[in-house]
């Protein structure tokens, strides 16, 4: 196994192709907290393996993150690579394992990366529990970056305008917002939530931004979708918990899966 993260991703892509018997994939989706139950509605499962069978993947550390990768065929015959769970920065393994799935997917041929997550809603219009929200842009407050060295990547349009328009054609009721990522694993304080609202944040979570940057570096088009599972800390006075996040995911699984299936078939 290589110690170079880019070569390691190529090794993982090779192993993925031989494990699944497929030469390329049309799209990759990363299913975050609350999104794993939606995967079943995307299409027919062709194969599924634990990510730990591929070079460079860390075992899952979070309940609700299955740590498996599935190949699904959609109704229109597209091949989607679906990561059921992800590695987070707060697991303490560094940045490379966080973006390894995305780099592997692009190395395996995926030109579109769909990143999903659970998020706290910061604006009144984004506090409807169970609503999906398109990520229009992000603010990276993780203090990390997947790129090392003088590689200057343009981030003017991290989340593809074309893909956002396509999702809105499918479901015009979906709103858009700026996603702010903290490292976690603590949820935010009410003072931090007030700060984020002042900074122009609409959604808050602990993932996605590093993967989006790695995908852009690799030249892929990115679609980001948040599932609002709670109002940001302090906005309604209720404490936050991970079980509530998973429960919202279970309750909205079919709606989110059908939405993703339509998106994948129209890419």
220 binds ligand HPA (CB under 6 A): no
230 binds ligand HPA (CB under 6 A): yes
* 111 versus 183: smaller Cβ distance to ligand HPA: 183
Return the closest-CA partner of residue 261 out of 102, 39, 20.
39
Name the active-site residue from 91, 188, 211, 217. 188
By CB under 6 A, name the one of 43, 55, 60, 232 that touches ligand HPA: 232
Tokens encoding 120: 């706290």
End-to-end Cα spacing for the chain: 34
Query: Who contacts 239 (Cβ-Cβ below 8 Å, separation ≥6)?
Result: none
Residue nearest to ligand HPA (CB): 120
* 175 versus 232: smaller Cβ distance to ligand HPA: 232
Considering the complex, what minimum distance in angstroms separates the CB of residue 230 from ligand HPA? Answer: 5
Phi and psi angles of residue 106, each rounded to the nearest 5 degrees, phi first: -70, -40
26 binds ligand HPA (CB under 6 A): no
* 104 versus 208: smaller Cβ distance to ligand HPA: 208
By CB under 6 A, name the one of 98, 99, 105, 204 that touches ligand HPA: 204
Q: In the range 97-136, which residues lie near ligand HPA by CB under 6 A?
A: 118-120
SS in 3 state form for 199-211? HCCCEEECCCHHH
Tokens encoding 79: 């091949």
By CB under 6 A, name the one of 38, 206, 215, 260 that touches ligand HPA: 206
Considering the complex, what minimum distance in angstroms separates the CB of residue 171 from ligand HPA? Answer: 21
d(CA 130, CA 227): 6
Phi and psi angles of residue 82, each rounded to the nearest 5 degrees, phi first: -120, 115
140 binds ligand HPA (CB under 6 A): no
d(CA 4, CA 8): 6
85 binds ligand HPA (CB under 6 A): no
Per the annotation, the verdict on 157 as an active-site residue is no
Query: Who contacts 19 (Cβ-Cβ below 8 Å, separation ≥6)?
Result: 47, 49, 53, 54
Which residues are marked as active site? Answer: 188
Binding site for ligand HPA (CB under 6 A): 118-120, 187-188, 204-206, 229-230, 232, 240, 245
């Amino acid at each position: 196994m290589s110690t170079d993260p880019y070569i390691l991703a190529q090794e993982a892509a090779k192993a993925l192709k031989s494990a699944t018997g497929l030469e390329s994939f049309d799209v990759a989706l990363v299913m975050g907290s609350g999104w794993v139950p939606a995967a079943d509605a995307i299409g027919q499962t062709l194969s599924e393996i634990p990510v730990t069978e591929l070079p460079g993947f860390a075992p899952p550390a979070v309940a609700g993150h299955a740590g498996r990768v599935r190949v699904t065929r959609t109704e229109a015959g597209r091949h989607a690579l679906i990561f059921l769970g992800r590695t987070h920065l707060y697991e303490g393994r560094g940045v490379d394992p966080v973006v390894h799935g995305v780099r592997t997917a692009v190395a395996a041929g995926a030109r579109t990366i769909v990143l999903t997550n659970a998020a706290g809603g910061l604006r009144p219009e984004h506090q409807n529990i169970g609503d999906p929200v398109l990520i229009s842009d992000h603010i990276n407050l993780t203090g990390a970056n997947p790129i090392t060295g003088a590689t200057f990547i343009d981030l003017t349009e991290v989340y593809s305008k074309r893909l956002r328009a396509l999702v809105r054609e499918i479901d015009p009721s979906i709103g858009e917002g700026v996603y702010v990522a903290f490292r976690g694993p603590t949820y935010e304080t009410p003072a931090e939530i007030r700060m984020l609202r002042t900074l122009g944040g609409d959604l808050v979570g602990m993932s996605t931004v590093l993967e989006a940057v790695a995908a852009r570096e690799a030249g892929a088009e990115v679609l980001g979708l948040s599932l609002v599972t709670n109002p940001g800390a302090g906005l309604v006075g209720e404490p936050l918990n991970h079980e509530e996040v998973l429960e919202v995911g279970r309750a909205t699984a079919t709606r989110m899966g059908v939405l993703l299936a339509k998106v994948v078939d129209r890419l």
